Amino acid sequence: MEDHKQTCSTEGCPEDTRKLLSVKEVASITGLGVSTIWRNAKLGTFPKPIAVCGMKRWRTVDIARLVGSDASDPNAQSPRQSQN
């Protein structure tokens, strides 16, 4: 019997869509809790994640657009930080 492992690759994708974020990374960037992110994604008030190899991930560009800054910058302020 052949082994049918699913392979995933971002090869050939535009550079800005190659970086995908986990819910913990999104929480760190936005300052929101993990549960809040899932709830808001379900309600449609937050970008929906995409399924990649059975995992849910957010495109960096979607989160950057949401927070209005470069989400790939670890020093970027989150929405919660900028309210203080």
At 64-84, the pLDDT tens digits run 998 885 444 555 444 454 444
- Answer whether 0.75 is exceeded by the pTM: no
Contact 12, 20 (CB under 8 A): no
Q: Provide the sign of the torsion angle of the four alpha carbons 40, 41, 46, 49, taken in this order.
A: positive
Contact by Cβ (8 Å): 52, 20:
yes
Over residues 7-38, the pLDDT tens digits come to 455 565 555 446 899 999 999 999 999 999 99
CA distances from 33 to 13, 23, 24 (A): 30, 9, 8
C-beta of residue 71 within 8 angstroms of C-beta of residue 29: yes
